A and B are shown apart, each in its own frame.
Chain A
């Protein structure tokens, strides 16, 4: 790099041309100081990503020699109804989880923000689900949603409704997974909303009160508009996590020892994109196709990111 810049011999330009070289030389230790991140990213980020692209153009069983496959994996991916249905499942589960979650988180945050005692105890309690292992939670939810002895069905029957075979019907499975995700993320997002609420100056509320606004009007005219950045942040984070849901359906729908854990329950209702990727890769030993599925997931995430980005951009205008 530096040698190419040295070439121009003109004396007038010399000092300008020489600067990059001395710059690099003078500042190399700064580059060295920030290098750990880049080295780690190279080893654990960029190289695996590049390799997965290479892998997706091959057939590989994980051990033997790789076989060039060109674009056939991607061609198959486009026509693979199972992949498309897994995208649908992921989005439905994400929507079922995210919108109630945002609503509940907002309500929780507003409640926490008003003067209550033991505020920190509540904050801790609401945050706890988020740091609990998904696997442990999924096992508990498996019991909660079980047909004959589950808590949910007990409640339904207490109010005179029929029991539902939650983990045995396509919609039941989606609702169960979404409920799990809602439960896990509500507290986390409530804490973020709470932080947002606390940045809203008290004078605004005071002014609103003087102008005769009720609590509902205050919420919709002052709180909500000022919370917009927080809302967007929460939406982005939940999109990222929601599109990657894997452990939830995997553990919730796990079955007896001799059956595949990654098929996503009856009718594949709980088969999310990442679960499908995992099944193809590790159950079927189809590492090449698995890599292609992973790139398919990447494209879906990119599309959602663009949508999110547009939302944020519009706010700036």
Chain B
């Protein structure tokens, strides 16, 4: 054959095409999930304890190659895209607590953990947390990782100086209602001018909603954000503003951190994981902090789950790994590694969790978080909560930050919610 330029070109193209097709074909051969030997686990930075993940890899080494992959960025959108694309789906996938409500309607994307015998482990986990991983039709999608019981973080010396209760037990007992908490805020401000109890009123609103058993949309896809429970939370937030116990700072900004550091924002209502944020954000306040029970009762923020996707070829093995990683002993390790608050009450008594914490003046913080975690109310989280809660949160923010008239703001929030509800097919 004469080697012409055209011939070469043709041969080259054919070669390229063959390679491309071959690549596609081999890519298609193992697109979804495991081959039995490989097992891929998706989680995010701080989503699981590193020690536990490492130990799991060696422990199950003779059965599977556990590849634990940390996914950065917007985790949920990446997982959804992968699931929708039906290729390279992880066998085990972490699901973030705040996204859980949006996964549950698509429970068929995951293996029902009941079929793998999850029910026999149920008694070892917090009931409300267990419930949160179950879809409406009873299928169990998520196995509990951690939770985020809310506590009242405060600076001991500042409270003492303001003539407020300052020992954790006294603060828990005497500031147990919102009313008493707000009164304390007024006293704090009077005795120490320029000092505010809370950063903004948004936290009061959200915390109050979290303390209830209802949110914005109920099981029957009906909008209940105009109900008494939301209205009460709203009024409470407005009252915090009226009584001038909140600062004009934006939470998460350098301004707020410096106010926290110099003691002019000596108190915050936050989840257990905020311990790490405070330790990293204002390390110089070491020893000044204590934790007490949250006014108005316990609530929860965050906390995630592990799931087994439909693409997994060895669900039994995956379930074995999950239950080992999330057993009581390893959850205690997760708390030490990454501050993941266990969803297994059996961990609360373990020595690892009962270490006095010098950052909190030697307090054993588990004495506050442990009992709070057990008493968190079960609330139904609807996939529409995000869309229909946001307008209310936006308006309460306008009241707090821009000084918008509360009555007008409520009216605006409700009319916006009604419009969005109609659009989403949620009855009003």
Contact = CB atoms under 8 A, between A and B. Distances in A.
Interface of A: 29, 32, 59, 61-64, 72, 76, 82, 142-143, 146-150, 165, 167-170, 254-260, 263, 266-268, 282-286, 289
Contacts of A256: 251-252
A267 B398 contact: yes
B255 A149 contact: yes
Nearest to B83: A63
A266 B80 contact: no
A289 B259 CA distance: 41
Nearest to B108: A64
B397 interface: yes
A285 B102 contact: yes
A59 B250 CA distance: 36
Contacts of B255: 146-150
Majority-rule SS of B interface residues: helix
Contacts of A142: 253-254
Nearest to B77: A282
Interface of B: 6, 9-10, 13, 74, 76-77, 80, 83-84, 98, 102-103, 105-106, 109, 202, 206, 248-255, 258-259, 301-302, 383, 386-387, 390, 393-394, 397-398, 401-402, 416, 423-425
Contact of A148 (B103, B258, B424, B425): B258
Nearest to A62: B80
A206 B133 CA distance: 79
9 contacts: A29-B6, A61-B106, A148-B249, A149-B255, A149-B258, A165-B248, A258-B98, A266-B397, A289-B423
Given A258-B98, A286-B387, A63 B252 contact: no
A76 B416 CA distance: 13
Given A63-B80, A260-B390, A282 B423 contact: no
B74 A63 contact: no
Contacts of A286: 387, 424
Contacts of B423: 72, 76, 289
A127 B412 CA distance: 45
Nearest to A36: B16
Contacts of B393: 259-260, 263
Given A168-B401, A282-B77, A149 B102 contact: no
A168 to B, nearest CB: 5
Nearest to A29: B9
A284 B387 contact: yes
Contacts of B98: 258
Contacts of A289: 423
Given A63-B84, A284-B390, A285-B386, 16 more contacts: A29-B9, A29-B10, A63-B83, A63-B103, A146-B253, A146-B254, A148-B249, A150-B254, A150-B255, A168-B402, A255-B250, A255-B251, A263-B394, A266-B398, A267-B401, A283-B390
Contacts of A63: 80, 83-84, 103, 106, 109
Contacts of B76: 282
Contacts of B102: 61, 285
Contact of A258 (B206, B259, B394): B206
Contacts of A260: 386, 390, 393
A284 B386 contact: yes
Contacts of B383: 61, 285
Contacts of A76: 423
Contacts of A268: 394
Contacts of A285: 102, 383, 386
Contact of A167 (B74, B206, B253, B394): B253
Contact of A254 (B80, B105, B206, B252): B252
Contacts of B398: 266-267
Given A254-B252, A259-B202, A260-B390, A169 B77 contact: no
Contacts of B10: 29
B302 A143 contact: no
A82 B249 CA distance: 26
A64 B84 CA distance: 9
Contacts of B250: 147, 167-168, 255
A258 B301 contact: yes
B212 to A, nearest CB: 16
